[in-house]
Amino acid sequence: MVVLVHSPSVGPATWQPVAAELRARGRDVLVPSLLDVGVGQPPYWPRVVYAVRDALSATAPDRPVVLVVHSNAGLFVPAIRTGLVQPVFGSVFVDAALPARTGATPVVPEQHLRLLRGMADPAGRLPRWTDWFDEADVAPMFSDPVIRHLIVGEQPRLPLAYYEQAVPVAPGWDDHPCGYLAFGPPYDRLADEAAERGWPVLTVPGRHLHQTVDPVAVSTAILSLLEVHPGPSRSTATRRDAATST
C-alpha cells in the first residue's frame, strides 16, 4: 500500500494525479486528507498522525505500507511511523523537508517564523500558502488552470502556531529504507543531505508542485526509489537524474 501524504499547507489534490497514475500501474494507493490538522489548539502534529492512521483503519494491521511524503509532510514521518499499526516498509521524501536524526524538528526555522508572524491576521491565522508569494512565483508551478483552481481552493489557512511547533523524532526512525526525490532548488540542498545519510536520490527537474505537472515521471521515479533498499549502514549514495535513469 502506497500512502501519499500531502503537506498540511496544501491539500490532497496535490497528490491526486500521481495517485491516479500509480493505480493505473496496479498499485494500491491511499491519499489521507490533512485539511483539518490546523483546527483547534496546539499541539498540531498528533493530528497528522491521527489522520493517516484513521485513513488506514480499514487496512489489515499486518499489511506493509510505504509513506510517500511531500514538502512539509516530510517532518512527520517519524511520528507517523510510530503511530501506525501497520509496518512501514519504506519512506520516500518528495521535494520534502527532512526530520532531524535525533531530537525534535522545528516545522520552520526561526528566520522564516519572523516572516510568517508578519503575515498572520489578528486571530493568528495565515493566508493560504499560495498567497504567500507573488503571482510570478506561483503561476509557473501549475500547468493546468483547472488543477490550479482545485489546489488553490482547498488550501487551509493554518494557524501561525502550526509553524511554531516542533515535531518529535523517535530514535532510530530511519532504520528502514528511505529515498529522496528532488524537483529543484531549494530542495536540492536537502537532496544532498539525504545522499549524505546514505539514501538513494533521484531528480525530476521541475518546481515544487511538479507531481501535478508530470505525474508520469514523478510516479516512475517514486517506484524506482521503492525498488532500492539501502541498508542503514550505507554512508554514501549516488544522485541520479530520473529523466535519464528510468
Q: What share of the chain is helix, strand, coil (3-state, %, to 5)?
A: 40, 15, 45
Domain that holds residue 83: 2-245
123 class by beta-carbon count within 10 Å (0-12 exposed, 13-18 middle, 19+ buried) = exposed
Note whether 180 and 201 are within 8 A (CB): yes
Start-to-end Cα distance in the chain:
22
CATH number where 63 lies: 3.40.50.1820
pLDDT tens by residue, 89-134:
999 999 999 999 888 999 998 889 999 999 999 999 999 999 999 9
Q: What is the pLDDT of residue 130?
A: 97
Rank 71-75, 231-235, 237-241 by mean pLDDT and report only the highest: 71-75
Give me the mean pLDDT over the 143-148 stretch: 93
What 3-state class would DSSP assign to 205?
coil
* 162, 125 contact by CB (below 8 A): no
28-58 pLDDT, tens digit per residue, is: 999 999 999 999 999 999 999 999 999 999 9
Query: The cell 498499485 sits on which residue?
Result: 27
Could you report the per-residue pLDDT of 155-190, keeping only the tens digit for each? Answer: 999 999 999 999 999 999 999 999 999 999 999 999
State how many domains the chain has. Answer: 1
The predicted model gives 138-165 an average pLDDT of: 96
- Read off the DSSP letter of residue 237: -
So what's the pLDDT on residue 228?
66
Over the stretch 69-89, which tens digit does the pLDDT of each residue have? 999 999 999 999 999 999 999
Cell 519572523, located at residue: 114
In terms of pLDDT, which residue wins out, 230 or 101? 101
Q: What is the pLDDT of residue 245?
A: 33
**pLDDT-based confidence at residue 241 (cuts at 50, 70, 90):** low
Closest CA to 6 of 79, 82, 68, 58: 68
Higher pLDDT, 37 or 229: 37
